[in-house]
Amino acid sequence: MRKIGILTSGGDCQGLNAAIRGIGKSLYTRFGRDVVLYGIRDGYRGLIEGIFQPMAVGDFSGILTLGGTILGTSRQPYKSLCRAEKTGAQVVESMKKTYARLGLDCLVILGGNGTHKTANLLSKEGLNIVTLPKTIDNDIWGTDITFGFSSAVEIATHVIDCIHTTATSHSRVFIVEIMGHKVGWLTLYAGIGGGADVILVPEMPYDTDEIVESLHRRNRSGKRFSILAVAEGAVSQDEAGLSPKELHSEQKKKKHPSVSYRLAEEIGRMTGQEIRVTVPGHIQRGGTPCPYDRVLATRFGTAAAELVAREKYGRMVAMRDNKIVSVPLEDVAGKLKKIPSGCELVSTARDIGVSFGCKI
């Protein structure tokens, strides 16, 4: 009899339930009555506090198109688990006790970067772990794509599409703020897909003068409106050299809700144009998953079940060159997949006249 736990951790996104379904259906199809599945409630918190529920075959039906996660989720900061203090050690020990209490043969974890760091920690503590990469940011090392990303791109692109009509009608500059604190994949894809004129991402610090010059060029060519797709983590060239703590301090001094509002004030002052800001926020990771994410999450889920069946633990399911593979968890944890220098997609955007707010 195999006993398998499943948990979802970190921010929710589209495709989590499709992946849960893929895991559960595949394991029950493969093992029938020789497997027991437990859903760990509310992410690592459920593992810490021992909150779980047995999951029957029927629990995995009717959830393919549901957004969010039927298991609930939470954020448990990785730093708090790594501290030498007694509290951090107790938390990890509590997780291990729940794992042992259930008699688990493996714990399947669905999550993003922080989730994978904790998963790797648990793996090193002797737990059998298999993970799946989920995030709308597409920033997990070792996989070409994560589930949730394509659905978020569709939503963010739709927002830009809708802004186009009102921007054209009123001859205004619109800033659309896209999710992405540390990487700009979502902003890059949505910006190109939505026809943004300026795209600002964290990997390419911007110069406000360059942004303004690109707007002037559009005005001179007869374009009466402009749209900026701005990642929430975009930084200026002056800010790029600051530490995270220094950056947070500087941003607090400026008293703007986000980088987009600060840019709106600066650009408005420099151009005399009317600037409007739209922040779609959490709707980018809400709602039903797109068909691509449903398929991808299902593929990832069945691949995770295969790793469980083969007892290949300490690995993350991934996609590379359009093939489902697995990679060592320790190679993934703590790494970010950023937009690389010389990215082909950035070159594509520049070839059609998109500005990235910088000369290089």
Residue whose structure tokens are 């736990």: 5
With left for phi above 0 and alpha for psi between -120 and 50, is residue 145 left, alpha or beta?
A: beta
Strand runs (DSSP E) across 76-231, as ranges? 106-111, 129-133, 173-178, 198-200, 226-231
Beta strands in 211-289 (DSSP E): 226-231, 275-278
What is the spatial distance between Cα 75 and Cα 319, in angstroms, rounded to a whole number?
Answer: 25
Catalytic annotation, pick one of 12, 34, 59, 137: 137
Q: What's the full length of the chain, in residues?
A: 360
In angstroms, the first-to-last Cα distance of the chain is 58
The SS3 assignment for 206 reads: strand
Q: Count of H helices and E strands in the chain?
A: 13, 11
CA distances in angstroms from 165 to 174, 194, 268, 294, listed in the order given:
11, 12, 20, 31
Annotated catalytic residue 207 = no
Task: List active site positions.
Answer: 137
